[in-house]
Copies of this chain bind each other. A is one copy, B any other.
């Protein structure tokens, strides 16, 4: 009949002595006996219980759950494992979403010059074509993007460009008017879909299809960090910025992605 002191158990199992103290205090793992001085001694049974504990702990069960699993025979291991499995799956799904969002964001940060591109377009880039602006932009975001962009705009023609601007303004206005609706509602998402179509015409062929979802989502984030919405004056509409961000994010996740 072997006896193991705290240090032995710690070494054998890999947990810290403090952890053993803790498990003792919360009645998860009691030592086999205690000396008068209070020293803890464990037997083989306790070692094996510890193994079980560690097994379930690795599965991310809480200590409270583990105690129930081990102590209450009525506790249905199978059901709680199935239950736990569902929880883990949910966590995995969430992480996948996070990864996707993070990729969007990274892409957005990397290409924030392209976002600038869009902003400038929206402000009337066409007028400046062929002047000083061009040189600056070229060094900023590379020759090809610019040239493609310009070609697209030229194809559009001045009239076409202006009419797109009007469309965009109109749809934005409509969105503004329903900014209190849920971003995920059909009403909002319908308008967002139109918004997206217009933006795509601005992009022309300069944005590859597989990137459009990311960029569109990033565009939403842009509203929130845009100075025009940040200013603390009467015109600022932070709620609208947030609304647009959420709506566009949701759209790109559910419709484009």
Contacts and interface: CB of A to CB of B under 8 A. Distances in A.
Interface of A: 1-2, 12, 32, 43-45, 47-48, 51-52, 55, 58-60, 77-78, 81-82, 84-85, 88-89, 91-92, 95-96, 98-99, 101-103, 105-106, 109-110, 221, 224-225, 229-234, 236, 238-239, 241-242, 245
A102 B232 CA distance: 53
B82 A106 contact: yes
Most buried by B among A2, A48, A232: A48
A45 B95 contact: no
Contact of A1 (B44, B84, B102, B233): B233
Contacts of A89: 99
Nearest to A13: B242
A51 B88 contact: no
Contact of A230 (B48, B103, B109): B48
A211 to B, nearest CB: 17
Q: Majority SS of interface residues in chain A?
A: helix
A91 B95 contact: yes
A51 to B, nearest CB: 5
Nearest to A233: B1
B88 A102 contact: yes
Contacts of A245: 51
A232 B241 CA distance: 67
Given A44-B238, A48-B225, 13 more contacts: A32-B232, A43-B232, A45-B232, A47-B238, A48-B241, A51-B245, A52-B224, A81-B106, A85-B99, A88-B99, A92-B92, A92-B96, A95-B95
30 contacts: A1-B232, A2-B236, A12-B242, A43-B232, A44-B230, A44-B236, A48-B224, A48-B225, A48-B229, A48-B230, A48-B238, A48-B242, A51-B224, A51-B238, A51-B241, A51-B242, A52-B224, A52-B225, A55-B224, A58-B98, A58-B101, A77-B109, A78-B106, A78-B110, A81-B102, A81-B106, A85-B103, A88-B99, A92-B92, A92-B95
A88 B232 CA distance: 36
A110 B99 CA distance: 35
